[in-house]
Amino acid sequence: MANNWVKVFESINNIEAEIVRAMLLENNIESVMMNKRDSSYLSFGLVEVYCQPNDVITALHLLNEQVN
């Protein structure tokens, strides 16, 4: 992936990944989603959320706060 994006989240649920991406954007963290799910068999693959390397620590901290 160009610009050295770093994966900070992955899920089999597209909606869950979109919620994470929206939460990151609300906190001024640029993020992108990459859907690696198989289009024929939706039980295979993941949806991943990436951010820039300088935002990884903040993004992981925010995600950790949401889990706890």
Name the pTM for this structure: 0.84
Other residues' Cβ atoms within 10 Å of the Cβ of residue 14: 14
Distance (Å, whole) CA 52 – CA 44 = 26
Residue-range definition of the domain harbouring residue 9: 2-67
Q: What's the number of domains the chain is made of? A: 1
Distance (Å, whole) CA 20 – CA 30 = 12
CATH number, position 32:
3.30.70.1530
| Residue 66 confidence class, pLDDT cut points 50, 70, 90 | confident
Contacts of 52 (CB under 8 A, 6+ apart): 3, 4, 5, 6, 29, 30
- pLDDT, one tens digit per residue, over 40-65 is 766 678 999 999 999 999 999 999 98
The whole-number pLDDT of residue 61 equals 95
